[in-house]
Each structure stands twice: as structure tokens, then as C-alpha cells.
Amino acid sequence: MRILILGIDGYIGWPLALHLRERGHKVTGLDNLIRRYRVQHEGSESLFPIDGILKKQPEFPIDTTGLKYLMELDCDLDAIVHLAEQPSAAWSMKDVTTATKTQYHNVLGTLNLLWLMQEYCPTAHLVKLGTMGEYGTPDCVIPEGEIPDGPMAGLLFPRSAGSFYHLSKVHDTYNIIFACKTWGLRSTDIMQGVVFGHLPGTRLDYDECFGTVINRFCVEAVAGMPLTIYGQGGQTRGYLPLKDSIQCLTLALENPPEDGEYRTFNQFAETYSINELADIVSDAGNAFGLEVKKDHISNPRVEKEEHFYSPVHKKLAELGYDPSWDIKNEIHKLIEAIIPYKKDIRKEIILPKIQWAPSEVKHDFSI
């Protein structure tokens, strides 16, 4: 297949491109490198060294300028993987500027993509990376997409997003559904859980904005810091390692939907609470002699800290997804990979400073 990856320079985009090429697909990419800039602006950088874009260019044709130009060149695309969105809930809650940029870039970026697909490649399969965070934490079982039975059967399951980032993904969902229904586009909307781990050549972020919780915990363990558990620690989510995210996205690409079809995959392997993850990371760190401690800190987020959580995730398994891994072993391998970079850890960027609830800080609304 001819596949275009938007956000090819990212945490998921780069290893996905390498994997798809190994499977014989022709891959091109687009990335404006803004993830690198935003991480640096937060005073951080990838803990593991990553190649610059000039070194990556010979690997794949990568455009850093304009999507429309690339579309005109590749109008016979079979699939587009859309990973090119601002990915941080915390960053979207920082201030009015970051909230506005999140909504603008994510919602309008996806809307522009849909119009370009309708004009240049209406038969291409759009694989869009969404988030399980669209659903929130309702006190009921979360289906994959539509409500399966009862008087509301067939309707999209209600969304209850917890940040301006998650809300941008909700808006994307409805825009993509409308484009499929109106223009006959086809799309797989990936409601992904929290990704952790590392693959060769990709980045590892651990700051409060761009570092996911397991990656952050593992860095804290190596740095000799207590694992910072937000609030009570009962927050429960779905998790999967980076290698499984690559596997699932590949399954979605190689098993496309019909023309005009919109489908949803809930993409994760297992659910864990923050307290459970902290215990696993603590045990793994202690095995390396790190003497890991845990610290419950004031929760900077506005969220339920104890709740029911039971999402359905069967569709990828039906396509062949086999999460044959043990989280303890995966976390052990991640800590082992981090230890050689202990001296490069910037402790000051890990603790949360962004408060999601209203504060006395007044923001500049002149944008």
C-alpha cells in the first residue's frame, strides 16, 4: 500500500513508518516538527537521543512544508495515518493560548485534511488516532463506538471529555463521521489508551505535559525521586506498550473498512489504576536497587480519583491483536533502558505546575 503518515517524526509515527516499510508498504510522511519545539519550550527534551530531521530524510520522503502539495503528488494514496495533532491534555489546560492552539490545530487541521481527502484522494482510508479520554469515566460499560442495544442502539456513545485536548478529539470524531456519511470517505477512529515504553530510534518524554504516566514513573524511579501519584491514585485507564500500538495500527491499515464506513476501535490491552502502576514500577525499580518511594501529591487535574471503568475492546482482537506481554516485564525493560541516561534527567520539569481548576492567575486574552 501507499501510506502517508502525518506526524511521522513523533513517538508513534517514526517506529510505525519503519515497521510498515519492513512489511513492504511504500511510506511517505509529513511533519512540521512542532512537537520537538513544544517539548523544548517546556524546558525538556527527549531523554533518549533521536536523529534530526535531515538525518531522517533519506529514510523516507518527509515534507515539512504543506499537506496540499504532498496530496497533489500522492493523489493515489491507499491510506493516511493521522498522528499530527497536539497530544497533551496538560498542555491544553495551561492557559488560554495553549487551549486555543490545541483546538485550532487539532480540529481545523483535521477538518482541512478531510476536505483535501475529498478533493484529492476520496478512496483513501483515514486511520485517525483518537483517545479513550473522549469517553471520560462514565458509571457504565463503554462500548466500541455505538450503543449496542436498547432504545438508543446504533447511536454514538456519549462523550464526556476531561480537557480541551480531549474535547478537540471529540470534535474530530463528529467531523469524521459527517465526512464519511456525506462524502463516502472511509475511516478507522482509534480510541487509544495510554501508550508507554520505547522502541529504537524514537523519543521518550517525561515532563508533565508530554510524558505519559508509566514513562514518567520509570524516569522518576531512576532519578531517585518519589513516584508522584496525583491525588488518591484510583484513576483507572487502558494501557498498551508502544510496540502494541504499532501492531494495532498496522492491523487497522491492512484490514480497511468499506467505502463510506466509519468504525471505532478501542485500542488498549489492560486497565490499571495509578496506584497499581506505581506498585509495579516500585517493585521493578527495587529489583535494580533503586529503593523507589511513592508520594501522593495534590491532583492538578479535575477528575474522578475513584471510579468504575470497563471499556469494551474486542474488534482489534478479532483482527488478530494478541497482547502477549507482561506489564512487569515491559516496565523492567524500560527502566533498564533509562538507567544509562540517569545523568540527563531534568528533575525540575517532572512535577506538575499546571492547575486545571480556576486560579487567581489572570491570562492575556488579546490573541
Planar angle of CA 295, 300, 304, nearest 5 degrees: 90
- Choose, from 102, 110, 131, 202, the residue flagged as catalytic: 131
CA atoms within 13 A on the CB side of 200: 2
- Choose, from 11, 120, 135, 165, the residue flagged as catalytic: 165
- Choose, from 56, 94, 169, 315, the residue flagged as catalytic: 169
Known catalytic membership, residue 271:
no
Known catalytic membership, residue 131:
yes
Q: Write out the chain in H/E/C secondary structure.
A: CEEEEECCCCCCHHHHHHHHHHCCCEEEEECCCHHHHHHHHCCCCCCCCCCCHHHHCCCCCEECCCHHHHHHHCCCCCEEEECCCCCCHHHHCCCHHHHHHHHHHHHHHHHHHHHHHHHHCCCCEEEEEEEHHHCCCCCCEECCCECCCCCCCCCECCCCCCCHHHHHHHHHHHHHHHHHHHHCCEEEEEEECEEECCCCCCCCCCCCCCCCHHHHHHHHHHHCCCEEEECCCCCEEEEEEHHHHHHHHHHHHHCCCCCCCEEEEEECCEEEEHHHHHHHHHHHHHHCCCCCCEEEECCCCCCCCCCCCEECCCHHHHHCCCCCCCHHHHHHHHHHHHHHHHHHCCHHHCCCCCCCCCCCCCCCCCC
Known catalytic membership, residue 181:
no
Which residues belong to the active site? 131, 165, 169
